[in-house]
Amino acid sequence: MLKSIRELAIKDSQHIVESFFDLELELHTPDMTRSVVVKGKGQTNNTFFKTDGVDAVAQLSHASFHERSIIDKDPSFSIRNADGRIDIHFFLLSFRDHRGVKTMYQVKQQYPNEATGLISVDLAIYETDCK
């Protein structure tokens, strides 16, 4: 029986989570009173651009994870606002790089996919080499 596009998208996103998301991400509330560890992907890369003829290098950091992984770990950890929408602006997220250095980032922009539950975020460095 042919499934709906939405059902297929949800199944695909679950497959991505199970097979591709292999990094531990620790998501903290902005006041640092609560946290949850979930599987996801995180990366930091440098980008080069020119501004007014001057060369500049900027560091960009991104992460992705699935809302279901938060619910499965801690059902009481809320990432939704009073309107029922995902709202993790200013939440803190930390993960270790390939050297084992843990960096904490602040969520600056969020891109939740309400249909599949996948959440991608743009990050800004908050604290480096945190414990």
Q: Is residue 84 a contact partner of residue 112, using CB atoms and an 8 Å limit?
A: no
pTM beyond cutoff 0.75: yes
The angle subtended at Cα 27 by Cα 32 and Cα 84, nearest 5°, is 95
Q: What is the pLDDT of residues 73-117, one digit of tens each?
A: 999 999 999 999 999 999 999 998 888 889 999 999 999 998 888
Greater pLDDT, 76 or 17: 76
Domains of the chain, residue spans: 5-128
- Range 7-12 average pLDDT: 80
Predicted confidence band of residue 2 (pLDDT cuts 50, 70, 90):
low
CATH 1.10.1740 applies to domain 5-128? no
